[in-house]
Each structure stands twice: as C-alpha cells, then as structure tokens.
Amino acid sequence: MAGKSGQKLTTAQALIGFLIAQQTERDGETRPFFGGCFGIFGHGNVGGLGQALHQYRQDFRYILGRNEQAMVHASAGFARMSNRMRAFACATSIGPGATNLVTGAAGATVNRLPVLLLPADMPASRTPRPVLQQVELPWTSTISVNDALRPVSKYWDRIERPEQLIWSALEAMRVLTDQAETGAVTLALPSDVQSEAYDWPEDFLQARVWHIPRPQPDREALARAVELIRSSSKPLIVAGGGVIYSEATAALAAFVERTGIAVVETQAGKGSLRYDHPCNVGPLGVNGVPGAFESAQDADLVIGIGTRWTDVTSISQTAFANPEVRFVNVNVASFDAHKFAGLPLVGDARVVIEALGEALADFQVSPERREQASRLNKEWDAEIDRYTGLGNRPLPSQGEVVGAVNQAAGPRDVVVTAAGSLPNDLQKLWRSRDPKSYHVEYGYSCMGYEIPGGMGAKMADPNREVFVMVGDGAYLMLPSEIVTTVQEGIKLIIVLVDNQGFASVGALSRRLGMDGFGADYRRRGEDGLLSGGRLPVDLAANAASFGAAVSRVSSLDELRKALEGARAAEETTVIHVETDPGVNVPRFFWWDVAVAEVSASEAVDRARATYEEERAKARQYL
C-alpha cells in the first residue's frame, strides 16, 4: 500500500499507512494493533486526515463519532477489553474538537489504556492568522489549545514538518505498547502539514511487529518476597486490573488453591477469581464488603498484584490496621510497585505469580485462615441474594435491577458502568464468572463513559452480550453514541436506571450534612431554590429518538421480560426502569471526603466530628 521508497504521500496518508502496518505480539499471538479510527471532521482535518481515511477506507475502518470525548471513551473500552493489545485512533478538527478530547484522555491515562489522539492544529505556516477556532495568546505563537492535552498524555508531540512524523510515530508506538507507560498519546497535526507531500522511506510503511514482553522480576526481590510470605501468618492478596491485563487469572487461581491465601479484588481486578471461589472474600474498598475488610484489618502481609493502590481501594488508608503490616507489590510499573513503601516486584503479573508458586510449593496458610476465607465468601453470597431480592414495593431497588441483569447475563457476557451509585452496587453484587465480565471504569469514574465504553467493549469482542448500566445523571452527560451503535450495527443492551438525580453524590451530600443539596432533578421553586417539582424529562423517548429500540418497565417481572427480548434482538435496546431511590445497597466504609471545619449547620458540624474521628484511623504505610 505504501508504494516504493521515494513515493510521495501526504503526511496524513503516510500516517494512516503506518497505523495499518503496526502489529503487536505476545505469547506467539500476533494481531493488528489498531482497530481503526474514530473521527469527526472539521475544517482542520477534513482535507488532510479526512482525505487519507477516505483513500484507505477499505484497509482501515473509519467510524463517525458524535462527540469527541465519547470517541476516546469508546477507544479506551476497546483497549481494556483487548487487554491493551489493541487500540483505536481518534481524529478531530482544531479547536473545540481537540479540547473535547481532554476528559477522555485523562481517563485513558489514569486507567493505563492505550489511545492515539490525532487532533488538528493551527497551520504550521501561521498564515492565515488567526485561523478559525484558534485561541490567540499575545505572549507566544507556539501554544495552541492542543497543549491542554500535555498533562493528560503519556506522550505528546506537534508535527510541524512531514519528516518529524517518522520518529514521532515510532515514539508514539513505543509508549502505546509499553504495558507500564501506556495511556493517551497525542500527535497534534497542523492542518497544512497534514496535506503536505513528502518522499517517505519505504521501511517506515512496512509491517512492524511490537513484541509485548513479560518482564521477569529481580531475583533478589523475588527471594525476599518469598521470605516475607513464609514468615507471615495472615497474608492477603489484593488483585487489581494487572491480573486481568496480563491474563494471569488461571495462575492466580492455582496459586491460592495451593497456598490458601485469601484474595480481595479492586474495581479493576474484579473477576480475577470467580465470585464463588472459596479464596475470594470479595471486593475491598470504599465500595467493598465486610468480609474483605475483616481480612484486610488483621493481615500482616499484603500482596498487591497489579493495583495502583488508590484511596478507594485502601479505604483512604484505613483498611490495613495491623501495626506490623508489610506490603509486597507486584506490578509491571515501577511507579506503582513502590507505593506504600512496599517491596517492589517489578514484572509481569503472570510471570511473578508463577515464580512465587514454584518457590512456595510447600507453603500453606493455617486451616483456620483458609476456613475463614471460605466462610466469608459464603456469607457475602447470601447477602447478595438478600439485596437483589427485596421485593414487595411499587418500584424495584437498584440492587434488584443489578440482580436481574446478572441473572440475564451469560457467563461470558459483560456489564459496563462508570460513575454514580452503580459502581457501589455492582462491585458488591455482581457475580463475576469470567475475567472480562466486569467492566467498570472507576479509575477516573467519568460520567458519560458508560455507553461509548460499552460500544468499545462490544467492538473488541462481538461474541459477548454487553449490558451497559447507566443512571439518569450519567446518561444525560453523553447519550449520543447510541446513534453510532445504530449506524455501525454494534448491539448494546442499555439498562437506564432512572432515580431522578445524582444518587451517589446525593447520598454523600447527606452524609456530610447537606441534605442532598444540588443532587435531585427538580424545578426551581417559588423560594428561588431547586425545591420545586420533579422534572418532566422523558429519557426513554430521548433514547428512541436516537434510533434504539426502547422498553419502559416498572417492575422486576417486566424488566426480566425486557432483558430476554433485548438478548434476542439484533439492535441496540434501551430498557428504561424507574427505581426506588429510598432503598439502597449500603456503603459500609468511610471515605476521606473533607467536611467543612466550621459551618452554620449542626448537621455539618456532626459530620465534621465523625470525619475527624475516622481520619484519625488513617495510616501512612512506611
């Protein structure tokens, strides 16, 4: 496709040709790295990247998006479902199209997911000037709005001459395929340079395979970790997303079955063990369950595998109360492996788990510790039945909706959500039977990720049903990619949970003494405040206007029938279900959200007193 050495191609044509030629390989399996390109054209890219994508449309899939932020979310969902072995590019025009990428880019970088961003930029010639949508700064001519992408990108460059693309494209691929350093990568493309021709080296456009290694841990560090595990009486594994990305779930199961070490899971790591595995004591964190917290409280050694150790996981550093607790951190990223002053085992999760298994072939926890894990697993499973089967009310609870969706989903089907109260309920209640069945974006917890993220997950594995669970607040943020699913024939089952506002932050507001201020969807009342009646918004009608099939349900029986029908359908279906906002799955644990130190409210003062009491329990793990 590239032609012989010296053949002239535009910068945009050469870039698309380069992307088509990139492949990744791990464990002997090779696949094209790029699934294609999402894009929205404007004056800054239609004649450059737009022309190139049109020219190579048979070789490189182009998907017209409806919102630039959503395009990045869909790309992140695709990369996550592909275990970071594949990615998408996102092309935008200059100005608002480019700045709309920032939120999605932050989410991709926080979650360590590869996404290539190709925003148009102001002309390198600087004529005409100012170009439409250019933000002028009186003190420099070298900065454009694309510079806003620098802090949320793992690699950033502006291509001001065609030949600069050669090394920059290779650097972009180096970062995108680096399991430790991946995230959003930005190549800003001035509109005139995109269309400029150049004699491209033949080798630049040839097929290139990027080997994804499985790094080995340092031998001395591994030996020290083995010593720490052997000397511990109450070890605990915290399984993060790295277990799943490295395809280490089978190795983890074999290791804990032999040793009896209990496992707790993070949001990203849920599915590392089946929900009913006797060593799985449930999710740990602010949205976690009591059994996981009980196991964490007295652990004398915590083995974090593939976790970033966010405050949500550590319950704002109150989860591990044993004064003698030590940490061993298995992570492909040195940055994460050194957190909590832990012993860093820098390497691939699967390789490290297998090495630990060999070195600890004769090690087992006490029978009491193993029995405790099995008991805690069964106790929480019984609680799931309770929270998903409350019944006997005019409207179902959100927990019951989660239970109905879980029952409708097959073992390999996927649930997707991101923000609000649904991550709390899903982490507690979803029974994961497959490593990829639980897809909750909680690193950035971005409202609006749900539908485009689900679209990306479905594109990565079309053989799985994808159930997107989204609250009304998050739905209103970014519903537009329903149109894209209809356009592309990408079937989703979207369960739209309508609880009349921001349920999660509303509950948090009430805990902080503010009575849910600003979280309910109400008209402005006669008192000048948001105290009037409920808003007459018809979300089901909105979804239908985008081309989706729509079901309105108000009971669990109706929901189950609608889910059955959606599974049988070939097109995207939105199931609108109104829930009882007064019945919630509880949050069991404190989270460090600062409360006003002084106020005119007794409720806020009480919340501050509780905050100070709980904050005193937090530790610095040194």
Single-letter amino acid code for the residue at 478:
L
Q: Which helix (H) or strand (E) holds 156?
A: strand 155-158
CATH, residue 60? 3.40.50.970
DSSP result, 329-374: EEESSHHHHTGGGPEEEES-HHHHHHHHHHHTTT----HHHHHHHH
The answer to whether residues 12 and 187 touch, using CB atoms and an 8 Å cutoff, is no
Q: Which residues of 355-374 are buried (b: 16+ CB within 10 A; e: fewer)?
A: bbbebbeebebeeebbebbb
Same domain, residue pair 118 and 152 = yes
The answer to whether residues 312 and 407 touch, using CB atoms and an 8 Å cutoff, is no
pLDDT at 520: 81
391: left (phi over 0), alpha (psi -120 to 50) or beta: left
Give the residue carrying structure tokens 């490290």. Answer: 352
Domain boundary among 363, 380, 397: 380
Structure confidence by residue, pLDDT tens digits, 139-193: 988 999 999 999 999 999 999 999 999 999 999 999 999 999 999 999 999 999 9
10: left (phi over 0), alpha (psi -120 to 50) or beta: beta
Single-letter amino acid code for the residue at 120:
A
How many domains does the chain contain in total?
A: 3
pLDDT at 5: 56
Say how far apart CA 295 and CA 77 lie, in whole Å: 32
Domain that holds residue 561: 388-500+535-578
CATH, residue 367? 3.40.50.1220
Single-letter amino acid code for the residue at 431:
R
Q: Which two tokens stand for residue 357?
A: 């298994």
Same domain, residue pair 455 and 348 = no
Q: Identify the CA nearest to 87 among candidates 99, 97, 98, 79.
A: 79
Same domain, residue pair 203 and 59 = yes
Same domain, residue pair 198 and 334 = no
pLDDT at 314: 95
Q: Identify the CA nearest to 496 among candidates 593, 405, 394, 614.
A: 405
Same domain, residue pair 419 and 566 = yes
Q: Omega into 130 within 30° of 0, i.e. cis? A: yes
Same domain, residue pair 548 and 425 = yes
Same domain, residue pair 104 and 73 = yes
pLDDT at 3: 41
pLDDT at 6: 66
Answer yes or no: is 617 within a domain.
no
Domain boundary among 355, 380, 405: 380
Q: Which residues of 429-464 are buried (b: 16+ CB within 10 A; e: fewer)?
A: bbbbbbbbbbbbbbbbbbbbbbbbbbbbbbbbeeeb
Answer yes or no: is 105 within a domain.
yes
381: left (phi over 0), alpha (psi -120 to 50) or beta: alpha
Structure confidence by residue, pLDDT tens digits, 523-556: 898 899 888 888 888 999 999 999 999 999 999 9
The answer to whether residues 369 and 232 touch, using CB atoms and an 8 Å cutoff, is no
The answer to whether residues 245 and 114 touch, using CB atoms and an 8 Å cutoff, is no
Answer yes or no: is 86 within a domain.
yes
Structure confidence by residue, pLDDT tens digits, 88-116: 999 999 999 999 999 999 999 999 999 99
Instruction: Please state the pTM of the whole predicted model.
Output: 0.96
H helix intervals, 46-143: 49-55, 68-81, 96-99, 101-110
Answer yes or no: is 484 within a domain.
yes
Domain boundary among 163, 187, 211: 211
The answer to whether residues 45 and 120 touch, using CB atoms and an 8 Å cutoff, is yes
Say how far apart CA 130 and CA 222 lie, in whole Å: 58
CB atoms within 10 A of CB 195: 18
Strand, helix or coil for residue 222: helix
Say how far apart CA 120 and CA 193 lie, in whole Å: 10
CA dihedral 512, 469, 418, 490 (to 10 degrees): -160
Structure confidence by residue, pLDDT tens digits, 436-469: 999 999 999 999 999 999 999 999 999 999 999 9
Q: Identify the CA nearest to 210 among candidates 364, 458, 31.
A: 31
Answer yes or no: is 609 within a domain.
no
DSSP class of residue 56? T
Query: How buried is residue 141: exposed, middle or buried, by Cβ count under 10 Å (0-12/13-18/19+)?
Result: exposed
Say how far apart CA 315 and CA 328 lie, in whole Å: 18
Same domain, residue pair 225 and 206 = no
Strand, helix or coil for residue 392: coil
Q: What is the mean pLDDT of the chain?
A: 95
Give the residue carrying structure tokens 């199209």. Answer: 97
User: How many Cα atoms occupy the beta-carbon half-sphere of 513 within 13 Å?
Assistant: 19
Strand, helix or coil for residue 313: helix
Q: Which two tokens stand for residue 305?
A: 């595998």
Same domain, residue pair 369 and 414 = no
CB atoms within 10 A of CB 210: 17
Single-letter amino acid code for the residue at 451:
I
Spatial CB neighbours of 230, under 8 Å, sequence gap ≥ 6: 360, 363
Residue ranges in the chain modelled with pLDDT below 70: 1-6
Q: Which two tokens stand for residue 519?
A: 């979280």
Rg (CA), the chain: 25
Q: Which two tokens stand for residue 436?
A: 């990829």
Same domain, residue pair 204 and 77 = yes
Same domain, residue pair 223 and 368 = yes
Same domain, residue pair 413 and 442 = yes
DSSP class of residue 147? G
Answer yes or no: is 320 within a domain.
yes
